[in-house]
Structure 1
């Protein structure tokens, strides 16, 4: 009779990287997800980290990275261990929409997040002229740039919290599936070396 493992199974965790241009509303969304309340936020210099327990055995760690031009140069440093990408777009700021799309496209070309699932949050739906999910999908060429991964576009509002529960559940589902597939791949690789 061998020794039995008396330790309880370790909780599963997934890293979600939250990116988007400055003033897209990333920090506001994160606080709304975490606390279900509106906080007065200022542009993030650096990054914020917060954890949200989805189920008793599954926790999402959100890395909310500043969107200023200088910070975008280091975005790739946060992508290495990502199990999901949450890209936030100010869907009412048509002036910067092309800039947001170009940055999104650059992120997706990063080898570190090949096949990583993506949820795009079309934020600020409460503002006049905000583009809906279909329009963001079309303008961001989601079908073209995300054909190799699971993706979803969710309209939302960081102030009211509208659409965030759906987005959080979608991110959690995608991240859990991706984590499982990574683990399966790792196990198969280990078996090949035996």
Structure 2
């Protein structure tokens, strides 16, 4: 009887866990975005000014309550754990050219993708920015969309225009046109959205997480979470 009660107790206290990949070319702000999620959740996080390029992967479990970041303080993190109703296991993967081929190895078990780009062009000549933008969209198309499309993996995709705190940034309308053109060429109608954020200041983070959580739940029949 004791073991039965114990089993039921653990089952009730298990929470759905969704794996989310953070992808993008190098220096787009992927690691800063993950550290901002940790900061907002009251977890220990790295100083944004001391973040080094990711050579492999960074992973964090981000607690979600009522569809939003818990925004709890570090002192009550453990006390609030039981109130969490969902966990996002977030993987920040290296965007360096030679390591992008490893992204696809994570696609089988992930529930959503966050693709981050640097939308600022402070102190960058227009020609160089256009080249960076073209490269960013091309990587998104070839290393993300085409692989997902070919293997029938229709999962939510959130595209984030990062560094919106800078003085000069790409117009979000132009950004949508560039990425929607790539999305339109796929067989699948991917559930996607493009949103502006600043990973450094936290601007737009809550909105994008709220959208992501809703889409994960909506897509859970096709790609169910694991329970832990």
TM-score (norm 1): 0.85
What's the offset of the Cα at 1:138?
A: 0.6
Name the residue aligned to 1:144: 184
Tell me whether 1:97 sits opposite 2:133 in the alignment.
yes
Segments of 4+ moved more than 6 angstroms: none
List per-residue Cα deviations over 1:83-139 (Å, max 9, x = no partner).
100000101252311111011112111145621101001001122331133221111
Tell me whether 1:59 sits opposite 2:101 in the alignment.
no
Tell me whether 1:182 sits opposite 2:182 in the alignment.
no
Name the residue aligned to 1:44: 54
Tell me whether 1:27 sits opposite 2:31 in the alignment.
yes
Name the residue aligned to 1:80: 108
Give the Cα–Cα distance (whole angstroms) in 1 for the partners of residues 201 and 27 of structure 2: 17
Mapped contact 2:111–2:223 kept (Cα < 8 A): no
What's the offset of the Cα at 1:140?
A: 1.5
Q: Spell out the pairing of 1:87-166 with structure 2 (5 A cutoff).
A: 87-93=115-121, 94=129, 95-106=131-142, 107-111=144-148, 112=151, 114-141=153-180, 144-145=184-185, 148-166=189-207
Matched position secondary structure for 2:223: helix
Residues 125 and 145 (structure 1 numbering): CA distance in 2 closer, same or farther, change over 3 Å? farther
Tell me whether 1:17 sits opposite 2:53 in the alignment.
no
Give the Cα–Cα distance (whole angstroms) in 2 for the partners of residues 90 and 113 of structure 1: 29
Mapped contact 2:28–2:116 kept (Cα < 8 A): yes
Deviates more, 1:39-48 or 1:112-121: 112-121
Matched position secondary structure for 1:73: helix
Mapped contact 1:20–1:67 kept (Cα < 8 A): yes
Give structure 2 stretches of 5+ with no counterpart. Answer: 66-83, 122-128
Residues 120 and 145 (structure 1 numbering): CA distance in 2 closer, same or farther, change over 3 Å? farther
TM-score (norm 2): 0.73
Mapped contact 1:86–1:120 kept (Cα < 8 A): yes
Matched position secondary structure for 1:182: coil
Name the residue aligned to 2:76: none
Residues matched between the structures, number: 182
Give the Cα–Cα distance (whole angstroms) in 2 for the partners of residues 66 and 145 of structure 1: 26
